[in-house]
A and B are shown apart, each in its own frame.
Chain A
Amino acid sequence: QKEVEQNSGPLSVPEGAIASLNCTYSDRGSQSFFWYRQYSGKSPELIMFIYSNGDKEDGRFTAQLNKASQYVSLLIRDSQPSDSATYLCAVSGGYDMRFGAGTRLTVKP
């Protein structure tokens, strides 16, 4: 069974702080990694994807990948109340994509 694990949270941070979201995966053959944001009652929307070890930055978001440790993370800088949502880690090793259970983030004003 190919597993994607996330801390379900909830994770609460004050406005302006850095939120750190973590994800581990079991399939060493995984090649691509994604972070989606899902607001309550809505479908997921893509935030970032990363394929190579290291960091990838896009605005306030930074994705970090360590394939040796089978670990991927998402950092959100200058967190805003509008960032409050569930963040889904997704891993793809080929044909389909597997999702973690998601981490619920709350950014308090």
Chain B
Amino acid sequence: GAVVSQHPSRVICKSGTSVKIECRSLDFQATTMFWYRQFPKQSLMLMATSNEGSKATYEQGVEKDKFLINHASLTLSTLTVTSAHPEDSSFYICSARRGQGNNSPLHFGNGTRLTVT
């Protein structure tokens, strides 16, 4: 069964509005979660690493003021796309490691398809 839950699965919003995406680890605690973005026919691109109780670590080129990440508990991380624009339309996917250690596999949520009109 699923080990990472992501919500919503699909959202359509108007340009200039904000959208919040939730990512939950099911039956395990995730001190770290990862947020990826995927444009059509392209690979997964790591946007940021969400750290419970501290600031997220953003990849180069990702605007931290536009993509707000909050990891307030050991099972929940949220990504808020602020002042969304059509170019932010993409597939956003969160993930977490269930096992111990940095080499254990990542498990992905079902993703959120964001369309900004």
Binding site for B on A (CB under 8 A): 31-32, 34, 36, 41-46, 49, 51, 88, 90, 92, 94-102
B30 at the A interface (CB under 8 A)? no
Say whether, besides A49-B105, A92-B103, A97-B34, A102 and B43 are in contact (CB < 8 Å).
yes
Chain A residue contacts of B6, Cβ below 8 A: 43
Segment of B63-71, B81-89, B107-115 engaged in the interface with chain A: B107-115
Nearest-CB residue, chain A, relative to B44: A99
Cα distance A44–B104 in the bound complex, in angstroms: 15
Chain B residue contacts of A94, Cβ below 8 A: 102-103
CB distance from B17 to the nearest CB of A (A): 24
How many A-B residue pairs lie within 8 Å, measured between CB atoms?
Answer: 47
Contact B43 A99 (CB under 8 A): yes
User: Which of B6, B43, B93, B102 has the most C-beta atoms of chain A within 10 angstroms of its own C-beta?
Assistant: B43
Chain B residue contacts of A98, Cβ below 8 A: 46
Cα distance A102–B41 in the bound complex, in angstroms: 9
Contact A96 B34 (CB under 8 A): yes
**CB proximity to A under 8 Å, residues B31-46:** 34, 42-44, 46
B49 at the A interface (CB under 8 A)? yes
Beyond A49-B105, A95-B102, 10 additional contacts (C-beta under 8 Å) are: A36-B108, A43-B108, A44-B108, A46-B107, A88-B43, A92-B103, A94-B102, A96-B46, A97-B34, A97-B106
